[in-house]
Amino acid sequence: MRENKSRELKDKTMSAEEAVSRFIHDGDFIASGGFGHVRVAMAIVYEIVRQKKRNLAMAGKTAVHDLDILVGAGCVNKVEVAYSFGHELRGLSPASRRMVETGQCKVPAETSNAAYQWRFLAGMMGLPFIPSRNLLGTDTGNYSSCKVVKDPFSGKPINLIPAAYPDAAFIHVHRCDVFGNAQIDSTVVEDTELSRCARRLILTTEEIVDDELIRREPWKTKIPFFVVDAVVEVPYGSHPCEMPGMYYYDEELIAEWLDLSKMPEGVDKYLDKYVFSVDTFEEYLELCGGIKKVNYLKRREFLKEPMIAPWRKED
């Protein structure tokens, strides 16, 4: 099983540039870890834009800011949707909505959050499908990749959710060693399943720690090294999304994106400023307000600063 995944403990550290050019290819089916605006591998998202990857299909497994940027940038043109094109309380996503409403991004299938995560679970378990009791009787089910069959035990209808095997996944974690043994200090959402069903897996991490630290508390390992293909160290690498227990959303930058992306020219302007004109993630962070902003986001995460909603004015 999985000849392409080495069991050897080897150093997998590399740059975001190398990880994306080696492991993400035009036409791939990709999936991003975390949830919406939470614990997102933004360095990889920006690098996909920078390398102008094209014709990517993306898992809309509650994919929000990552997906909005990648659809807006023209990298992703197919989405299987559980939850996409919206920013939860912040409203709908102007960029990716426009791409769908003008036919530039296709939605070949719908599904739900639970069903998407169970696609990954089936993949992780090496099973062709997982039976479930959602999606039944609905258009969401009719437009999904699922099939309804008769449960051989009860004779009642049961939904079968097919396994998914993304070509490449990228997940941001709190810490890991050079081999890819990773700890996540928050909800794992569906990264347990996604990390194990993806054909290629890039981890970005707040910090790389000594292997000894992993081995001292092995019960904390959420992703083991042998499913990992690349380790990229990116402090504050979820920005402008939240990193639970570390820093909050940068609502100002998200508001700037939501405002500028109302127009196609605005998308270009934003990407020029924050992606194409910067060489490193540090440079990008500096552009977003540097250490002062980062310290504010840390205080905000611990509720020591009031909530702000700069995107609300744009309604």
Contacts (CB under 8 A) with another protein, residues 65-84:
81-84
Rounded Cα gap, residues 105 and 63, in angstroms = 15
Rounded Cα gap, residues 58 and 181, in angstroms = 25
Q: Report how many residues bind another protein under the rule CB under 8 A.
A: 67
Rounded Cα gap, residues 65 and 87, in angstroms = 7
Contact 26, 48 (CB under 8 A): no
Interface with another protein, residue 186, by CB under 8 A: yes
Stretch that binds another protein, among 48-56, 166-174, 280-288, 302-310 (CB under 8 A): 302-310
Give the nearer residue to another protein in terms of CB position, either 191 or 233.
Answer: 191
Give the nearer residue to another protein in terms of CB position, either 37 or 200.
Answer: 37
Interface with another protein, residue 125, by CB under 8 A: no
Interface with another protein, residue 126, by CB under 8 A: no
Give the nearer residue to another protein in terms of CB position, either 113 or 145.
Answer: 113
Interface with another protein, residue 307, by CB under 8 A: yes
Which helix (H) or strand (E) segment holds residue 209: the answer is none
Nearest residue to 190 (alpha-carbon basis) of 85, 119, 111: 119
Give the nearer residue to another protein in terms of CB position, either 16 or 243.
Answer: 243
- In the list 192, 209, 211, 220, the residue contacting another protein (rule: CB under 8 A) is 192
Interface with another protein, residue 145, by CB under 8 A: no
Counted residue by residue, the chain has a size of 315
Structure token digits, residue 117? 């995560």
- In the list 114, 160, 208, 209, the residue contacting another protein (rule: CB under 8 A) is 114
Rounded Cα gap, residues 46 and 64, in angstroms = 14
Interface with another protein, residue 97, by CB under 8 A: yes
Interface with another protein, residue 104, by CB under 8 A: no
Contact 241, 42 (CB under 8 A): yes
Stretch that binds another protein, among 41-49, 181-189, 279-287, 290-298 (CB under 8 A): 181-189
Convert 128-157 to b/e letters by CB count within 10 Å (16 or more is b). Answer: ebbebebbeeeebbebbbbeeeeeeeeeee
Rounded Cα gap, residues 65 and 172, in angstroms = 14
Nearest residue to 250 (alpha-carbon basis) of 187, 298, 206: 298
**Which residue type occupies 207?**
E
Binding site for another protein (CB under 8 A): 34-38, 60, 62, 81-86, 88-90, 92, 97, 100-101, 103, 107, 110-115, 117-118, 121, 132-141, 143, 148, 151, 156-159, 186-190, 192-193, 242, 244-245, 249, 301, 303, 306-309, 312, 315
